Amino acid sequence: MRTVLILSRFFPPAFDIGGKRAQRFARYLPEYGWRAAIVTDVAPEGRRADPTAGAPLPDGITVYRIWYPASWSRPKPADSDGTVVTPTKDKKFPPDGLRARLGWHLRLPVGKELTLTPRAAWLARRIARDEGADALFATSSPYAALVYGVAAKAVTGLPLHLDLRDPWSMNFLQRTKSPLTQKGEAALEGWLLRRADQVTLTSETAAQAYRRAYPDIADRIGRIYNSYDPAQRPPPSPLREGPVTLVHFGNCYGIRRMETVIRAIAALKGRDGLTPERLQLLNLGRMAEKDVQLAAELGVGDFVEARPVVPYEEGLSILARADLQILLAYGDETLFVPAKLYDYLLSGAPILCVAPESELTDIVERTGTGFHLGPGDIGAAVDVLRAALEARRTQNPLTTPHSEAIEDFSARTTARELASSLDRMVAPSPGNG
């Protein structure tokens, strides 16, 4: 069996989605001839940790929790940390204050973690030797992980798979950085990708955009979706009682908003006399401050409840009992497939996807798992909520999922795709084998 050295800052019990991606690869790669050794971080105090976030790993997997030096000051939890329910606020860029503004303009590309590159390369060389590694796999974020991957390739001579996950230079969040930082990171991105043997993103739309941006390495750029772990499937939901429940699993911030759903609830209250006893919107995580204010202004604040995030296993059970799982795109952005989609596919409850026509809506339609409508389409949202109310009354199913299509997004499928990529990287080149 071959060995891949995985560089991933996040790994369970750290809850971050990047950690779940790496953990699921490590869990299922042995079925396809690869074992993983993982270089990651400890689960630091003050950051969300969850022992249920990942199913047990098979024997023979080694985890090195040495990402940062012991004295390193780790980044503070971001808006995506839902351990509190304080609503998220829009941030101002550039920030106020001379010192903050100067720091924003002069921020080092990928941040101060860039200074740890020599250490990361030295550790990768040592561990690759000890583990007998055949290949390297570096997954972001942080984007420094990609730098570490290229540095590790330079000192080990091993083939390298860079996993961007979401776009980097094309990410809408780049617009929160200074023009100087954006230009520096765009140049660094190209330099790094051209030194990788394989590159992946988590949507085909994003992969196509990167192939157009980097035509000289287009044949190396692919797509491996995020996934759900079939071993963590929750038990079937019992007969639903109480109010019809809409559940959003995660945090809302920036351009990820629940405005369309909130306005649809208000419309049903006005037209049909809908009450909180018949329908509730539950957010497991942080809501956007603008959504909280909107619900109050429209007189539907009592329809909406926000709770802190719960352990992953418990969250899946809540999703499985939902009448509708709310799936939100990042506004009109189409290069992203939110990772919570795969939790929703695993839970089995119907999905209401608020997103522009895109790869995301195509997946919802292809899997038969729910409905999709554009941001701001209040009429369509009202129709879906009415259908959910009627389905509850009659106890009839709201959707007919297509199990074979859903299987395309299981962790076994994505691990097989990664194993195929790794196999190609280590295969002898023509004339050398």
- pLDDT at position 81 is 61
Q: Please list, residue by residue across 87-101, b when 16 or more beta carbons sit within 10 angstroms of its beta carbon and e when fewer do.
A: bbeeeeeeeeeeeee
Distance of CA 139 to the CA centre of its chain: 12
Q: Where are the beta strands (DSSP E) in 187-261?
A: 198-201, 221-223, 244-249
Q: Would you say 290 and 257 are in contact if contact means Cβ atoms under 8 Å apart?
A: yes
- pLDDT at position 90 is 78
Between the alpha carbon of residue 379 and those of residues 185, 301, 358, 361, 383, the distances in Å are 42, 20, 20, 18, 6
Domains of the chain plus CATH, in order, are 2-227+410-426 (3.40.50.2000), 230-407 (3.40.50.2000)
Between the alpha carbon of residue 144 and those of residues 9, 193, 197, 225, 233, the distances in Å are 9, 13, 18, 21, 33
Q: What angle do CA 53, 117, 423 make, to 5 degrees?
A: 60
Residue 277, classified by CB atoms within 10 Å of its CB into exposed (0-12), middle (13-18) or buried (19+), is: exposed
Query: What average pLDDT does the chain have?
Result: 91
- pLDDT at position 111 is 85
pLDDT in tens, 266-297: 999 999 999 999 999 999 999 999 999 999 99
Q: Which residues pair with 5 in a beta bridge?
A: 37, 136
- pLDDT at position 371 is 98
Residue 67 to residue 384: CA distance in whole angstroms: 46
Q: Which residues of the chain have pLDDT under 50?
A: 433
- pLDDT at position 255 is 86
